Amino acid sequence: MTVGLEVFRDDPLTLESRGWTSVSTECTPKLSALASERRKRLIPVNVTGAIGAIALDMGYPWQITKAFALIGRTLGAIGHIAEEIRNPMATKIDAAIKQAVVYEPYRT
């Protein structure tokens, strides 16, 4: 289970709304509730946790389920790199920051 960046309440794209229910996918909200209780803050299950649950449902051993998330994240990173190659933004962002920020050295 991993920590999500954003929490969507009443998300219309849940596994249950798509007709997917199983032991693994039913356990993820319970894991989230347990982790949230222990941490005393909301710890949601993000897409990486859902991918792991689905991989378990597909019969993959738990030890390999993280590979599915890594493959997805890797493909996303490759897509970002390809986009930056086609349409570079880093130099524009750097120039905008340098123009907007005044550097004042810290003196003790």
CA atoms of 73 and 103, how far apart (whole Å): 35
Handedness of CA 64, 69, 72, 78 (dihedral sign): negative
pLDDT digit string, tens, across residues 57-80? 889 998 998 898 889 889 999 999
Both tokens assigned to 66: 């993280």
pLDDT digit string, tens, across residues 17-59? 667 677 777 888 888 899 999 999 988 887 788 888 888 888 9
CA atoms of 42 and 83, how far apart (whole Å): 34
pTM value is 0.55
Q: Indicate the domain borders of the chain.
A: 16-100
- Bridge partner residues of 45 (DSSP): 3
pLDDT value of position 75: 92
CA atoms of 38 and 52, how far apart (whole Å): 22
For the chain, the average pLDDT equals 82
Q: Which of 20-24, 50-54, 92-96, 99-103 has the lowest mean pLDDT?
A: 20-24
pLDDT value of position 11: 58
